[in-house]
Structure 1
Amino acid sequence: MRRLIFLVIAASCVLGSAAATAAGTLTLCYERREVLPWRTLDGQGLNFELLREVSQRTGVQFDYRGMPWKRCLEAIKANAVDGGIAVSFYPARLAVGAYPGGAHPDRAKRMNVGGYMLVRRRGSAIDWDGKAFRHVDGKIGFQLGYSVGEFLRSRGVPTDEGSQQPEELAQKLAAGRLAAAAFGAADAQRLAHGPFSAQLEVLPVPLLQQDYYLMLSHAMLARDPQLASRLWNEVGAVRTSPAYARLEASKVEPEWR
């Protein structure tokens, strides 16, 4: 009997230790491509700098998994990961995972601000004045799974969601298969100075600016709502800390902070 009790206690300790280890590590997915200055393929960039400090403050370790963006969102929704890095808000994504503040995300707890620019072929008449599109003579492209698609569809313009990567989107636009395309601000900036600069131009007025959040899976939130709240609070605290604010100011244009 004494031996049985010992074995039960030993097994409980092992299981408890495993549970503690699992609770101390969260798996976060992110889009497997460079989005400068926020993320690089080797785990650098401002998003990772911010989360490193969050990890130090909370003691929670983050296990990062890079994957195509749509697959990342699907993994969060399926509770296959604990959350995702830099997820913009729109209502349909409430079924995917949880934002700080729920259906009305708390901007103070955002990771960063970003947005989209409209790119057209040089000589094209299509235009965007900040309120409405003009002279739309074909589809406007965007990357698969990106929230800007909802923005475009809400304005009644024909869309094309067939591109995985910004380079593929730029090629389709340059080849005349699209009337225009919506690019993330960092990608649009690269286009303006890259190999497509002679064929494509970035319109000066942003399509939209968005806040990007640490999204947590519904299972993670249900399992430990106090930890979820602490993580979101620390994201906001780190982002506004003097050290991180100086780092961000050195790498990000003022209109995108």
Structure 2
Amino acid sequence: MRRYLVAALLGLPIMAAAAPLEVRMCIFDHPFPPLTYPDGSGQAQDVLRRASRLQPVSIQNIVAPRFQCMEQLRTGQVDAMLAAFIEDRTSYSAFPMHDSQPDASRAVGELKFSVSRRRGGEVEWDGKLFHHLGRQPVGTQPGMLHVSLLRQLNVVIDDSANSPEQVFAMLAQRRVAAVVTQQGEGEQIIARLYRGEIEMLPTPLITTPIYLIVNKVFYQQHKPQIDAYWDAVRQVRAAKP
């Protein structure tokens, strides 16, 4: 208050604090533990709140199914969402980059995707290759990061499921030999519905950084603020014990 009074007496302009950048962010309508929850209690959501104290950004959470989030980001109905880097997504969204590559130091966290099988099954994953799988299909959801990896491994894929619950139902019904899901999400479903029937293998299929990605048009309109916010995310994560 004193510096404002002095400025007024001297006839100097009074600089108001910059208004926070308002960002409409789509959050999945089901838990994606440990990073996001519909109620906002996920680890990544906490990182974003803490980053907002360093760089003024006001996030409005909009809860929707995953595919709706992606479509709303593409069409500009929302400004941002949390997602892994997939090349196709760069046509409509901006990622924090460094030397033409996604900058993992500015990711909000990491997610693991793991393989599950029926208890006592023979399918194994050693971190590089499947064993005892042959041409039996692996179940998953379409458009997920790991689908391209499964294709590279020449795995037969059944991606007809619309939800992780449907993925596990395919496994329980013996329509597939194994499934790939986000690890935390899969652990919760197994504990809730398939305890003693389905088991998750110990080695993740893939571990990937998750980024706050931004609609390209919105990014071009607010590039300095968003770049600074991504930097704030890095500061927050680096400061965590």
TM tier relative to shorter chain: 0.7 to 0.9
Query: Conserved in 2, the CA contact under 8 Å of 1:74 and 1:96?
Result: no
Mapped to 1, the partners of 2:152 and 2:28 lie a distance apart of 25
Mapped to 1, the partners of 2:130 and 2:92 lie a distance apart of 30
CA displacement at 1:123 relative to structure 2: 3.0
Three-state SS of the structure 1 residue aligned to 2:160 is strand
The percentage of counterpart residues that share the same residue type is 25
Q: Find the counterpart in structure 2 of residue 81 from structure 1.
A: 78
Query: Conserved in 2, the CA contact under 8 Å of 1:141 and 1:160?
Result: yes
Q: Find the counterpart in structure 2 of residue 251 from structure 1.
A: none
Q: Deviations over 1:167-211 (max 9, x none)?
A: 221111111011110011102332554431211111111101101
What are the ranges of 5 or more consecutive residues in structure 1 without an aligned counterpart? 1-19, 247-257
Counterpart of 1:98 in structure 2: which amino acid?
A
Counterpart of 1:46 in structure 2: which amino acid?
Q
Mapped to 2, the partners of 1:96 and 1:118 lie a distance apart of 30
Q: Find the counterpart in structure 2 of residue 39 from structure 1.
A: 36
Q: Deviations over 1:206-251 (max 9, x none)?
A: 101101011011011111211121111011111122xxx24xxxxx
Counterpart of 1:188 in structure 2: which amino acid?
G
Mapped to 2, the partners of 1:126 and 1:37 lie a distance apart of 27
More deviation, 187-196/89-98 = 187-196
CA displacement at 1:157 relative to structure 2: 0.8
Q: Find the counterpart in structure 2 of residue 120 from structure 1.
A: 117
1:234-253 matches, within 5 Å, as 234-241=232-239, 245-246=240-241
Query: Conserved in 2, the CA contact under 8 Å of 1:53 and 1:238?
Result: yes
Q: Find the counterpart in structure 2 of residue 9 from structure 1.
A: none
Q: Find the counterpart in structure 1 of residue 86 from structure 2.
A: 90
Query: Conserved in 1, the CA contact under 8 Å of 2:118 and 2:197?
Result: yes
1:47-58 matches, within 5 Å, as 47-58=44-55
Mapped to 2, the partners of 1:132 and 1:200 lie a distance apart of 20
CA displacement at 1:25 relative to structure 2: 0.9
CA displacement at 1:39 relative to structure 2: 1.9
CA displacement at 1:144 relative to structure 2: 3.5
CA displacement at 1:33 relative to structure 2: 0.7
Asked whether 1:26 is paired with 2:59, we answer no
Query: Conserved in 2, the CA contact under 8 Å of 1:82 and 1:220?
Result: yes
Mapped to 1, the partners of 2:31 and 2:87 lie a distance apart of 26
CA displacement at 1:51 relative to structure 2: 1.2
Counterpart of 2:36 in structure 1: which amino acid?
R
Pairwise CA RMSD of aligned residues?
1.9
Three-state SS of the structure 1 residue aligned to 2:193 is coil
TM-score where L is the length of structure 1: 0.80
TM-score where L is the length of structure 2: 0.85
Asked whether 1:99 is paired with 2:132, we answer no
Mapped to 2, the partners of 1:163 and 1:239 lie a distance apart of 34
CA displacement at 1:107 relative to structure 2: 1.2
Q: Find the counterpart in structure 2 of residue 163 from structure 1.
A: 161
Q: Find the counterpart in structure 1 of residue 56 from structure 2.
A: 59
Counterpart of 1:143 in structure 2: which amino acid?
Q
Query: Conserved in 1, the CA contact under 8 Å of 2:28 and 2:66?
Result: yes
Three-state SS of the structure 2 residue aligned to 1:84 is strand
Query: Conserved in 2, the CA contact under 8 Å of 1:36 and 1:186?
Result: yes
**Structure 1 residues 67 and 144: CA distance shift in structure 2, 3 A:** farther
More deviation, 116-125/134-143 = 134-143
Counterpart of 1:184 in structure 2: which amino acid?
Q
Mapped to 2, the partners of 1:227 and 1:75 lie a distance apart of 22
Three-state SS of the structure 2 residue aligned to 1:143 is coil
Query: Conserved in 2, the CA contact under 8 Å of 1:69 and 1:145?
Result: no
Q: Find the counterpart in structure 2 of residue 151 from structure 1.
A: 149
Q: Find the counterpart in structure 2 of residue 13 from structure 1.
A: none
Number of residue pairs matched?
222
